[in-house]
Structure 1
Amino acid sequence: MKKLNLVLPLSVFITIASQPVIADDLEIGGSVRANYSYSDYSESSKDKLGDFDFNLLSITFSDKWNDIGVKAEYRFYDGYDHLKYGYAYWDANEDLTISGGAISKPFGNKGYASHSWWYSLNYYMGFEDDYGLGVSAQYQNGSSLTEVAFIKNAVYGTTDHRDFAGTVAKGTVGDITYNNEETNTFAGRQSFTLNSGDLTTIIGASIEYGQLYNSEFGESGDTLNYAVHLDMNYDGWGFQAQYLAFDFDQYDDGKIDPNKIGMGMLDGFYEVASKGNIYTANLSKSIATSWGNLTLYNDFSMVQPDFEAFDDSILNSTGVSLSYGPVFVYVDHYMAKNVLWLGGNSLGLAQTDDDWDHRFNINLAYYF
């Protein structure tokens, strides 16, 4: 079945590429990526002096006819594949754009809240580079950018955990089964771009409110999340900061711990604290050279649960990214405590030990 899923999307792109070009803006591209990692929390990784694996193959497509356009990206990993995004958009005028399909959720720092290949902890909680099925509007008025969206549900529903970023979903961890469905979500982000000489400052705030539906009992909870964020750039130096408060108030069916909630992403399912704060602070320096560009960075993020029995999850990423023609490379060191997939199995829950876990990572990408 996985092979069939791989062949069908590729055949569609090949068929499109073989047809006569009917629009000047037609673009088909993608990337191939491989990854090396050495993890001190994995005995097998230490025994083998690390692991080198195929990471992904991605196919991107975009086209535009007058004021109407389409964009999509499909990704193939080892063992599964998924749509990252795919939507149509209409440039109603110079200031207003309407989009529909598998769209980006307007929440948090504009673009990314990180520089590293691993992203920040916001990503695994569903607050960075997140997508869902719905409609959105973007309105630019001078220095002001207003973005609103209605997201009906996750790209892959409730039991298929292939969504690109963390999504509240159905699944089982240990002896606890969660039956939540993230649906009917309203999200909005207001930001302002201020320029003063070489200094560019983007300040903004975001809010998200939606329904958490329990299909087994026919009952609903809700989620209310908000954030304030800052992005500054001066002469190649960059600084990002964000404070985010989250609250996943699920229906308590008497079989769960309401202080925890289940999330699915990238073919995995895990638990996180249902209420708390996320703090982010990133510093970077971009350097242009005669052969390409490199960016030095240190990204910090922390999930602080709102329950005394739980512990903070902390991630610090130090690294450099290098761009040379079609080649892009991340070289990162991750230092983590109580972090999912970095020595831990959850976010913001009780930690099993007080140790710091370390991972050295190199991600190699070729874009075509």
Structure 2
Amino acid sequence: MIKNYVCFTLLTALMLPILSFGQTKDKPKLELGGALRFNYVYSSWKEEQKTKGGELGYDMFRINAKASYKKVFLNAEYRLYSEAFGGGFLKQGWVGYQFSEKDELHAGLVYVPFGIKQYNSHNWFFNITYYAGLEDDHDMGLKYLHTGTDWEYAIAFLKNAEELNFGGDVENDSSRYSYDVVGRNKETNQFNIKLVRKLGATVKHRIGFSGQYGSLYNIDTDSNGDHYALALHYEVDWNTWNLKTEAITVAHNPNNEPGQSNDIIQMGAYGSLSQNYLFMF
């Protein structure tokens, strides 16, 4: 007999008003915003929740800040989750320089240019690409962007994922927003490229290619493996409808110590061990 399980999640958010300071583009400008979010959860496979009629609790509080002065600007977002989901951590935080209306340089904890921006999904749980570190990912490095009428492209060098405990022999902490390789391997020295062609007026099409290649440093062997990902993606907007499609090939080749399989890596986010996943390649 097949059992059907249902999980209902109700989101409520209190948006903080955006505070803006500054009048012209020649004066410093600051924008502050944020949100407070609670969850109501009813899980049919948890008997205690069924008996109580679900649970209502704190989920997340966030602060957003944007600042600019002439051609220099800043973008940061800090999130404070419950302890079960990792506590507080920086989702993104970078400074930028605008060379022109179409060209920018970002430095810091930047959005990784790969796949459909910003989400390759239409649901609360994201897509499998998020848990594989290929959706709404943010890493430490430099990124150059060009946003034209017909073409968009981005080139990035990412030194590493969020490094919270400096030292080559220390495992990455899973208290982070983006899913990254954790455990005995670390992402390092990654290059990304993304190209998008834009077509149409009433029906808007975005056809793109993304690629990334980088090293996987292993703490035990003090040596580097590598990993890569390639994607073709297509997105179309028509009236209030949006369609996202993406085909991806990805490989991780760690150089683990003898006795440890090189076919398995550990991905982590949100602090808790329950939020870590083992992927086989």
Please state which band the TM-score falls in when normalised by the shorter chain.
0.7 to 0.9
User: What is aligned with 1:85?
Assistant: 92
Q: Secondary structure at the match of 2:256?
A: coil
Q: 2:277 aligns with which of 243, 266, 271?
A: 271
Runs of 4+ in 1 over 6 A off after TM superposition: none
Residue in 2 that maps onto 1:233: 237
The match for 2:56 is: 52
- 2:279 maps to amino acid: A
Pairing 1:155–2:162 present:
yes
* Structure-2 residue corresponding to 1:38: 42
The secondary structure found in structure 2 opposite 1:223 is strand
Aligned length, in residue pairs: 248
User: In the alignment, residue 189 of structure 2 is paired with which amino acid?
Assistant: N
Q: 1:223, 1:247 within 8 Å by CA — same for their partners in 2?
A: yes
Q: Are 1:211 and 1:220, in contact at CA under 8 Å, matched by a contact in 2?
A: yes
CA RMSD between the two structures: 1.8
Kept after mapping to 2: 8 A contact 1:209/1:223 = yes
Separation of aligned partners in 1, 2:117 and 2:99: 22
- The equivalent residue for 1:5 is none
| CA–CA distance in structure 1, aligned partners of residues 159 and 272 of structure 2 | 22
Following superposition, the deviation at residue 252 of structure 1 comes to: 3.0
Is 1:193 aligned to residue 167 of structure 2? no
Work out which of the residue numbers 251, 257, 270 in structure 1 matches 2:255: 251
Distance 1:221 1:66, change over 3 A: same
| Residues 33 and 63 in structure 2, CA contact (< 8 A), matched pair in contact too | yes
Give the deviation of 1:21 after TM superposition: 6.0
- Which residue, 135, 141, 156 being the options, matches 1:128? 135
Amino acid at match of 1:248: H
Alignment partners' CA distance in 2, 1:114 and 1:264: 20
Closer, same or farther in 2 for the Cα pair 1:21/1:238, shift >3 Å? closer
- The alignment partner of 1:26 has SS state of strand
Distance in 2, Cα, partners of 1:32 & 1:188 = 35
Aligned ranges 1:1-368 → 2 under 5 Å:
23=27, 25-79=29-83, 80-157=87-164, 158-170=171-183, 179-196=184-201, 198-269=202-273, 270-275=276-281
Q: Give me the whole-angstrom Cα distance separating, in 1, the residues matched to 2:43 and 2:56.
A: 12
CA displacement 1:75-132 (0-9 Å, x = unmatched):
1111210000110001111221000001000001122111222211111111111101
Q: State the 1:259 CA deviation.
A: 2.2
CA pair 253-43 structure 1, distance change in 2 beyond 3 A:
farther
- Cα deviation 1:259-295 (Å, max 9, x = unaligned): 22111111134233232xxxxxxxxxxxxxxxxxxxx
Seen in structure 2, the aligned counterparts of structure 1 residues 36 and 146 have a Cα distance that, compared at 3 Å, is same
Separation (CA, whole Å) in 1 of partners of 2:48 and 2:129? 29
Q: 251-260 or 223-232, which moves further after superposition?
A: 251-260
Q: Supply the distance in 1 between the matched residues of 2:187 and 2:130 (Cα, whole angstroms).
A: 16
The runs of 5 or more residues in structure 2 that have no matched partner are 1-18, 165-170
CA distance in 1, matches of 2:22, 2:194: 37
User: Cα deviations across residues 158-187 of structure 1 (Å, max 9, x unaligned)?
Assistant: 4211221210012xxxxxxxx101111111
1:188-229 per-residue CA deviation (whole Å, 9 max, x = no partner) reads 111111114x10011101111010001221111100111111
Go from structure 1 to structure 2 and tell me whether the alpha carbon gap of 1:165 and 1:44 turns closer, same or farther (over 3 Å shift): farther
2:50 is paired with a residue whose SS is helix
- C-alpha deviation, 1:24, in angstroms: 5.4
**Counterpart contact for 2:96–2:107, Cα < 8 Å:** yes
